[in-house]
Structure formats: structure tokens, C-alpha cells
Amino acid sequence: MAVLRIRGLALPEGDPVDLYADGDRWTSDPVPGADLVAEGWILPGLVDAHTHPGANTPGDPLDDGILRDDLRAHLESGVTLIRSPGLADDPPDWFGRSDDSPRAFHAGRWIAQHGQFAPGWGRRPDPADLPAVAAEQAARTGWAKIVIDWKAGDDIVPVEILREAVTRVHAAGGRLAVHSQHGAGGAVAVEAGVDSIEHGMGLDPALLSRMAEQGTALTPTLAAITGSLARTLANPDRARTSWYVPGASVHARLTAAAVEAGVTVLAGTDTRPHGGIAQEIRALVTAGVTPHRAIAAASWAARAYLGLPGLLDGAPADAVVYAADPRTDLSQLDKPSAVIVRGKRVAR
């Protein structure tokens, strides 16, 4: 099999590169006879940091065929790495490893409180057992995910329990993500020192500097939240009574403020159909985030947060290539000229 080669201008710096896929690793050492498959603007493979592939509707079981289709959609959009903070069940062994799958981090099944979250999904241990369950999950897969708040008025995981979960997850060598869509839940998450807050709607902007200092990331799932807000506002009666409207209405402003405060902001879609990372990047830009930073949240910055380097010698051989600079033409994100994962070009 011929060695794959790409060349062009590489982000984030825009430096010229000429890279060869030595198996699953990039090298700049020339390989005679290498197959030049793409030239243009080159990004480290895109990242969707919040996606739940494998089930069509909440509560459905994990389906192998749906999972494969979802992951293929991610690849075709340029996403070569996903983080799934919650799956309907433990994924098959090929998940994150096969040619039809992006690289993947996952948190197993969600961990939620009794009477909360989607029926049929997740585990609901007694509150005192939450830290142990989270630590066991993180020891197996590197991440655990706790739903710390759900509907308005529901109980929030107490800060002392969540702090113990953080301690035990870290002791197991993992990281802890939490679902939060209420201000009180966000405050507990920041106080406990979780590794990432998913959604973060209603988060107090005064907490952003502390998040930046302690390394708590935010995955705002902005396109999903603003899309849901638009549907809610289209029904005046529902909009008038919905708890969702106040937080969702300022979520774009919060996201932009988080970037400015130095919080690690990760691009995540949280929607079906899969493969919508370009919409999330554009939502970040619409919110006031610069195109460079918005793309970083879905590429090199997200990869760095998850422990994968970019377009360097010895780095995983993942990349997405565009004909023009996507920072000056966001429409490029919809039409990558080549997607490479594990040193192989994704057939399109």
C-alpha cells in the first residue's frame, strides 16, 4: 500500500507542511513513491466533543447499524475524533478503532439521580454511591459523566458528593464531565472542580475566571441550544412558561465570554443527524467568537485538551484538508477536499 502524503498550509500557524503517513503517525521525512492525496489548507482532524451516536431517540438501546452510520457521518464531515459523554450502552470493541470510526473517548452510560434523565438510559445509583460508580467508569474508559441537574426544581447533586466524585475519578486516572443546564448546578460543578461542564446553560459569568484557573472546560452545544430556543419561541404559550428561555437566550453571550475569559471551550453538537460540527463552529462565530478560536474549539485546541497533538512528527495521522482557508470562508467547512484518519483517506 502506498504511503499517503499531504502538503499545504497547516493551522493553527499557517506554516507550510509536507507530511507523510507512516502507518498511523505523521512524519515530515520524505517517503519515495508516496501518494499525494491532497493539497490546500490543512487542519488537525476535527473534534466533536459532545455527541451520542448509536440510538435514534432518547431511551433507545444502542444499535450497531445506527452507530456505524452515525460515526461514518462524523468522518465525512471531517471529524476524526469524538468524545461521547454518555452512550446508550457500552460500545462494541471496534468503536473508535475501525476504519469506519473516528478515534473516540467515551464515558459509558450516563450516571443520574433517581427519577431524573431519559427513561431507559443511564445508571441511577444511590447518591452516596455516585463517586464510586463514577470512579469505576473512569477507570475503564478514562471519562465518567454525571447528570447533576435535570428539570427545573429537581434536586441537584450535593457539592460534597460531586467533590468526592472528582477526587475519586482523578485518583482512578480519569476525568469527570457533568451535564448542567441550571445556574445552581453550574455553581456546584465549578465549586467541585469538575473537568468539563456540558451545556452550561444558566452558568453565572462570574464563575468563568475560576473555571479558567482550575481548568474546567465548557462544551456549550451552542447550535443545539439556540435551535431549541427558536422552536420554543415559535410557540408563544410555551415560551411564556418555559424554564428554558432565560438561560438559552443568553447562552451565546455566555459562550463568547467564556472564550474571552480563557476557559477551554470545546465544540460539541449533541444532535441528530450526526456530522454537524460545521454548524457548531458557525454558531460560535455568530456568538462573537473569532473564526480562528471557533475552529480551534473543534480542532487543535480540542485535540490538545483530549491529549492528542496536532500536525507534528509522531502525532496521530489525522487531518482534514480544505481548498481555501476556512477561517476566511466558513463555507469551506462543508466541503473538505480530503479527510484522513489513522493514515488513511476516508472514501467520500
pLDDT at 347 over 80: no
Average pLDDT over residues 241-269: 97
Q: Cβ(220)–Cβ(255) under 8 Å?
A: yes
Q: Are residues 14 and 126 in the same domain?
A: no
What are the residues facing 16 on neighbouring strands? Answer: 9
Q: Are residues 57 and 95 in the same domain?
A: yes
Average pLDDT over residues 282-308: 98
Here the cell at position 208 is 468563568
Residue 84 has, within 13 A of its CA and on its CB side, a CA count of 28
Q: What is the pLDDT of residue 254?
A: 98
Domain that holds residue 171: 46-305
3-state helix, strand, coil in the chain (%, to 5): 35, 20, 45
Q: What is the SS3 assignment for 307?
A: coil
Here the cell at position 320 is 482534514
- Specify the length of the chain in residues: 348
Q: What is the band of 22 on the pLDDT scale with cuts at 50, 70, 90?
A: confident
Q: What is the band of 102 on the pLDDT scale with cuts at 50, 70, 90?
A: very high
Q: What is the band of 99 on the pLDDT scale with cuts at 50, 70, 90?
A: confident
Q: Are residues 28 and 173 in the same domain?
A: no
Average pLDDT over residues 89-102: 94
Q: Cβ(74)–Cβ(68) under 8 Å?
A: no
The percent of residues in the chain predicted with pLDDT above 70, rounded, is 99
Q: Are residues 26 and 54 in the same domain?
A: no
Average pLDDT over residues 5-9: 98
Q: Are residues 269 and 340 in the same domain?
A: no
Where residue 155 sits, what CATH number does that domain have?
3.20.20.140
Q: What is the pTM of this model?
A: 0.97
Q: At what angle do helices 277-286 and 222-233 cross, to 10 degrees?
A: 70
Distance, CA of 304 to CA of 330 (rounded, Å): 22
Q: What is the band of 111 on the pLDDT scale with cuts at 50, 70, 90?
A: very high
Q: What is the pLDDT of residue 296?
A: 98
Beta-sheet pairing, 15-22 with 196-199: unpaired
Q: What is the pLDDT of residue 214?
A: 98
Q: Is the alpha carbon torsion for 303, 253, 271, 90 positive or negative? A: positive
Q: Are residues 155 and 39 in the same domain?
A: no
Write out pLDDT tens, residues 156-178: 999 999 999 999 999 999 999 99
Write out pLDDT tens, residues 24-66: 999 999 999 999 999 999 999 999 999 999 999 999 999 999 9
* Tally of helices (H runs) and strands (E runs) in the chain: 12, 14
Q: Look up cell 490538545; give the residue.
A: 304
Residue 180 has, within 13 A of its CA and on its CB side, a CA count of 27
Where residue 25 sits, what CATH number does that domain have?
2.30.40.10
Q: Are residues 213 and 129 in the same domain?
A: yes
Q: Are residues 25 and 147 in the same domain?
A: no
pLDDT at 1 over 70: no
Question: Which has more confidence, 37 or 237?
Answer: 37
Phi, psi (deg, nearest 5) at residue 176? -120, 125
Structural domains in the chain (count): 2
Q: Are residues 173 and 209 in the same domain?
A: yes
What would the DSSP string read from start to end of 170-200? HHTT-EEEEEE-SHHHHHHHHHHT-SEEEE-
Q: What is the band of 196 on the pLDDT scale with cuts at 50, 70, 90?
A: very high
For residue 75, give the nearest of 57, 100, 56, 54 by alpha carbon: 100
Q: Are residues 68 and 179 in the same domain?
A: yes
Distance, CA of 344 to CA of 178 (rounded, Å): 34
Question: Which has more confidence, 273 or 2?
Answer: 273
Q: Are residues 285 and 338 in the same domain?
A: no
Q: Are residues 56 and 104 in the same domain?
A: yes
